[in-house]
Structure formats: C-alpha cells, structure tokens
C-alpha cells in the first residue's frame, strides 16, 4: 500500500464528486480492516467490492433501509475488535511519558469522534512540545577524566569543571520561545563569577536558528562583553555557521568563535587535560 497514492485517489474522487454534486468520498478504518481481514491482497478486492456494492444498489436497495442499526454496529465492532488492544496505552503509561496526552487523546476521541479527536490530540501534542521547548534546562558540563568527553557535572562522577570556563548546554533547541530564557540563565550563572574568562555555549540541540534566537545570542554576547567575559559557541551546525557568518562576521560569527566540539573550544580557550 502506498499512502500517497491512496490520498491522491481520495482527492481525485472528491474533486469529481464536487463537480458532479455527489457526496464527499472518505475512507473508513473499519472498512479497510474488514477488507484486510477477509484476506484481500490486491487491487482486485476493491473492484470486487465495487461490483458487490453496485449489485446491492441495483437489486437490494429497497431492503437496505430495513436493516437494523444494531446489526450494522455489530459488523463494525467485529471488524475493529482485534484493534481494541489496550497494550499500547499500557506501555506508554509504564514509560511514565505523555500520560496526560494519552488521557486527553482518548477523551477527545470518545467525545468528538475519531477525526476530530485525533486533531485535538495532535493540537495537544504541539502545545505540550511548545511548553517543553519554551522551558529549556541548561546543564553545566565538565571534562570526564583525561578524555575529550564533556558530560553533565551533576550526573557523572569524575567530571570536573575547567578552570576559567563555564561550559553550558541547553537541552532544547533555541528558538523564539526559549532563547531569552537561555540567555537569562547564562547571565545569572555568570554574574558574580570573577574567576570566569569565557562562556562556552553548546548548540548541539539546535539545527538552525530563527531571527529571535540570533538576536538573543548577539545580545548575550554584548552583555557578557560588558561583564568582561567572552562568549564562544560549540557544536555549531552548518546552517547556524552560515547564518552567523553572514549576520555578524566580525563578532559572534567569526571563525575563531565557532567550534565543532566542546573539546576544541576548551583547547582554544582554556586548558584541556589529556592523559
């Protein structure tokens, strides 16, 4: 099955139905399930179904309206019964992730139907992602032993801070909803630290930057310069390098302020302890 082909066919059918003043054409999960459950493996199943429906309309139409609705309900329930497995929901619940989203999606489907319920569930997921991205956690990194690895100081024994450097890593991408929070967090950590010379900010979670994030980084650079500190960026991906290089080539976009790894930034601006 090719989902794109299926959608193209449905779109073409709806265009034809609109031109001929017909009914909207849709696809039902129960009909697809019943078709697959009956052993359909090719497109001939659709043609045979078309023939059967045509014969039913031609010869059995007067009797169709006499069919009780409970009988139709039983047919749909039977077709979908095997899909009513609570195991996926229980697996998500045991992972202790997205519990509220699961509850909201189930209630939305029960209250508004499958289509509108799924749209509401998608909207809730987008809102939750926006909430999580707008409240980023910024970790301080330290060198792990005598290696080139830099890990979270609080979570790994043996990691030590590099003297004179403050190495920070936001755990979410920088964009308009999170950049100001990250910049404020960096300034708060630097304030009162007379032993610091350079702030190393790792952007490994950011594949690109919007205009607000760029402005926040440039403003952060100016504020740190006013405090007598330097700002360098590490784990900077190509789109960000090109953007900063074009926007601020003599400042934060300069080649000597953008590094591929934390170890390179530390080696250029501090003391990298290697075994």
pLDDT band at residue 275 under the 50/70/90 scheme: low
pTM over 0.85? The answer is no
Q: Which residues contact 187 (CB under 8 A, 6 or more apart)?
A: 220, 223, 224, 227
Say which range, 8-17, 37-46, 177-186, 253-262, has the weakest mean pLDDT.
Answer: 37-46
Helix 44-59 and helix 29-37, axial crossing angle in degrees, nearest 10:
110
Top pLDDT among 170 and 273 is at 170
Say which range, 47-61, 73-87, 143-157, 243-257, has the weakest mean pLDDT.
Answer: 73-87
Per the listing, tokens 């956690």 go with 137
- Per the structure block, which two tokens stand in for 55? 């014969």
| pLDDT confidence of residue 44 | 86
Q: Indicate the SS3 state at residue 175.
A: coil
Spatial contact of 142 and 162, defined as CB atoms under 8 Å apart: yes
Spatial contact of 173 and 206, defined as CB atoms under 8 Å apart: yes
Spatial contact of 192 and 225, defined as CB atoms under 8 Å apart: no
| pLDDT confidence of residue 79 | 67
Task: For residue range 60-81, list pLDDT tens digits in order.
Answer: 877 877 888 888 788 777 767 7
| pLDDT confidence of residue 68 | 85
Per the listing, tokens 């594949």 go with 207
| pLDDT confidence of residue 83 | 67
Spatial contact of 24 and 14, defined as CB atoms under 8 Å apart: yes
Query: Averaged over 141-161, what is the pLDDT?
Result: 81
Spatial contact of 244 and 258, defined as CB atoms under 8 Å apart: yes
- Rounded to 5 degrees, φ, ψ at 114 are -65, -50
Element (H, E) at 70: helix 69-80
- Per the structure block, which two tokens stand in for 151? 């890990």
Please determine, for residue 97, whether its predicted confidence score (pLDDT) is greater than 80: no
Query: Averaged over 109-133, what is the pLDDT?
Result: 86
| pLDDT confidence of residue 24 | 83
- Rounded to 5 degrees, φ, ψ at 227 are -90, 0
| pLDDT confidence of residue 10 | 86
| pLDDT confidence of residue 30 | 61
Task: For residue range 166-217, list pLDDT tens digits in order.
Answer: 999 998 888 888 889 999 999 999 988 888 888 999 999 988 998 999 999 9
143: nearest Cα among 270, 231, 235, 257: 270
Helix 238-247 and helix 211-226, axial crossing angle in degrees, nearest 10:
60
Percentage of residues in the chain having pLDDT higher than 70: 93
The string of DSSP codes covering 24-37 is: PP---HHHHHHHHH
Mean of all residue pLDDT scores within the chain: 84
| pLDDT confidence of residue 12 | 92
Spatial contact of 51 and 44, defined as CB atoms under 8 Å apart: no
272: nearest Cα among 141, 148, 139, 140: 148
- Rounded to 5 degrees, φ, ψ at 151 are -130, 170
| pLDDT confidence of residue 274 | 60
Q: Which domains does the chain have, with CATH numbers?
A: 1-84 (no CATH), 86-133 (no CATH), 138-269 (3.30.750.24)
Other C-beta atoms lying within 10 Å of the C-beta of residue 155: 8
Spatial contact of 262 and 201, defined as CB atoms under 8 Å apart: no
């Amino acid at each position: 099955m090719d989902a794109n082909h299926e959608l193209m066919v449905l779109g073409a059918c709806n265009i034809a139905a609109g031109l001929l003043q017909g009914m909207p054409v849709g696809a039902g999960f129960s009909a697809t399930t019943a078709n697959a459950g009956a052993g359909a493996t090719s497109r001939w199943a659709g043609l045979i179904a078309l023939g059967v429906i045509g014969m039913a309309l031609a010869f059995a139409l007067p009797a169709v309206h006499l069919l009780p609705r409970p009988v139709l309900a039983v047919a749909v329930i039977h077709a979908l019964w095997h899909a009513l497995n609570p195991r996926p929901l229980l697996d998500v619940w045991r992972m202790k992730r997205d519990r509220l989203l699961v509850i909201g999606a189930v209630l939305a489907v029960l209250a508004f139907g499958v289509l509108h319920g799924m749209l509401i569930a998608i909207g809730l997921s987008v809102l939750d992602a926006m909430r999580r991205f707008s409240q980023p956690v910024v970790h301080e990194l330290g060198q792990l032993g005598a290696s080139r690895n830099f890990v979270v100081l609080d979570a790994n024994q043996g990691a030590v801070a590099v003297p004179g450097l403050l190495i920070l890593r936001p755990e979410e991408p920088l964009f308009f909803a999170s950049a100001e929070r990250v910049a404020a967090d960096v300034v708060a950590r630097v304030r009162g630290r007379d032993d610091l010379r350079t702030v190393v900010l790792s952007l490994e979670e950011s594949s690109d930057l919007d205009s607000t994030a760029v402005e926040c980084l440039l403003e952060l650079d100016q504020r740190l310069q006013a405090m007598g500190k330097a700002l360098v960026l590490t784990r900077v991906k190509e789109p960000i390098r090109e953007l900063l290089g074009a926007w601020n080539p003599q400042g934060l976009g300069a080649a000597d302020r953008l590094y591929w790894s934390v170890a390179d930034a530390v080696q250029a601006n501090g003391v990298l302890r290697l075994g």
